[in-house]
Amino acid sequence: REWVAPAAGLLATLWTFYLLDRTVNEREFHERPSRIAALLFVLLLVMGPSGTHVGPATFGMPFALMAMARVVQVSGDSKALAALFDAGTLIGIAALFHLPFALLLVSTWATVSVLRPFAWREFVVPLIGCFLPLLLTGALLHLLGMPQADLVRSVLRDHVPSAWDEPRFARLASFGMVALGVAGGLAYASSYGGRVVRGKGLMAALLAHVVILVLMALLGFLVNGYCQSVLIAVPLALI
């Protein structure tokens, strides 16, 4: 039915809104609790290259945010391997929707390296967790006699009509997002200098995830000529 995809996209967007707000405040990424990140997410989503169009990254982003919230719990945690396996599994589920989410493994390893002494097991466990959903999904589809999922199609996307087709709007939106990015970067640098060691580690973890999401957005521009709005909205709202 025609309404299923928009309804599912709306639910995924609301879920992302909730998780973004909870992650930023519960993990103390910002100095004071606020709703600014969640509100910026909505604004940036509308301003983005694909607007509110529902794409694969829309459905994968909630799992990516849950993975990020899980991995920052490893600092001083005796159950770090369990948290890393959970994070890897969530990244794998996100990658089922949009394959580049697998790049979040890199930010996961970077997070562990700044929050605790890094051991080889903490490198392998999230990798196993990431591959598990991909392998199980492939095996299930094979047993059911269904065609295998073409994950590459989640990267190669046809152009979708949006307000960015109007050059003036595209320029204004680009300028607005760059301005927000610069302001966020300055606020990040100011906050980082005033943090204690653990706070600096959490902010470094945040930056690692933001960088990976921005690289995913750039990959979309390189491959398709545009990127899904959620890949710009979330990192700019986080920073």
What pLDDT digit, counting tens, does each position of 46-70 carry? 888 777 778 888 899 999 999 998 8
The average confidence (pLDDT) of the chain is 83
CB neighbours (10 Å) of residue 88?
27
Q: What's at 141, amino acid-wise?
A: L
Helices 230-238 and 167-193, packing angle to 10 deg = 30
Helix residue spans in the chain (DSSP H): 4-26, 36-47, 56-71, 80-97, 104-115, 120-143, 167-193, 197-224, 230-238
Chain centre to alpha carbon of residue 149: 21
Question: What is this structure's pTM?
Answer: 0.86
Tell me the mean pLDDT in the region 33-56.
Answer: 82
Q: What is the pLDDT of residues 112-156, one digit of tens each?
A: 888 877 778 888 999 999 999 988 888 887 787 766 665 666 666
Sequence length of the chain is 239
**Cα separation of 143 and 145, whole Å?**
5
**Cα separation of 175 and 69, whole Å?**
30
85: pLDDT strictly greater than 80 = yes
37: pLDDT strictly greater than 70 = yes
